[in-house]
Amino acid sequence: MPPVSPDSASAAGDDRPSWNAYFMAITDLVSSRSTCLRRKVGAVLVKDKRILCSGYNGAPSQVPHCSETGCLRKQRKVPSGEKHELCRGVHAEQNVIIQAAYHGISVAGADLYCTTRPCSICAKMIINAGIKRVFFKTGYEDPLSLEMFAQAGVELIRLD
């Protein structure tokens, strides 16, 4: 029997979601934990159809969330996609990799499911973590991330 691709349903006539739809739906749920006032993002790392870790965007542990203090980027009138360092939040992609490291989980060869295509800062972390494919729902205007992913051979797959 040929292997089932990760995006196909589990069996003929089965009404369960495909693996891609399943993992992407989980990223939506994870994003609901975000405390960012501008964009709620969720990320899930998957290997061999098993969830390794999840992450969402928000302030670091023990630091007040933007939902409590207000958005630093809005206060300073920083446009989306610029000056990523002027933000209290850690991106969902960063958090999922950090959580995996914190708990001693190898992510090399894993797939990343994310509600939003990663920015260039996250792209660097994804590439160096050995993540091979990134599935995402919505785009994010950052041409440098696209260039780096292409150069590193990380496959970007948009899911609707």
Q: Give the separation between CA 16 and CA 143, rounded to whole angstroms.
A: 36
Annotated active-site positions, please? 93
Could you tell me the residue ranges of all domains in the chain?
A: 22-158
Task: Count Cα neighbours of 110 within 13 Å in the Cβ-side half-sphere.
Answer: 25
Tally the residues of the chain.
160
Residue percentage of the chain with pLDDT more than 70:
92
Q: Is the pLDDT of residue 120 over 60?
A: yes
CATH 2.170.190.11 fits 22-158, yes or no: no
Classify the phi-psi angles of 93: left when phi > 0, otherwise alpha if psi is within -120 to 50, otherwise beta.
alpha
Q: Is the pLDDT of residue 5 over 80?
A: no
The helix/strand/coil state of 88 is coil
pTM score > 0.85 for this model? yes
* Mean local confidence (pLDDT), 91-118: 97
Residue percentage of the chain with pLDDT more than 90:
69
Q: Do residues 115 and 28 touch, judged by C-beta distance below 8 A?
A: yes
Binding residue numbers for Zn(2+): 91, 119, 122
Burial of 38 (0-12, 13-18, 19+ CB in 10 A): middle
Binding residue numbers: 91, 119, 122
Whole-number pLDDT of residue 12: 57
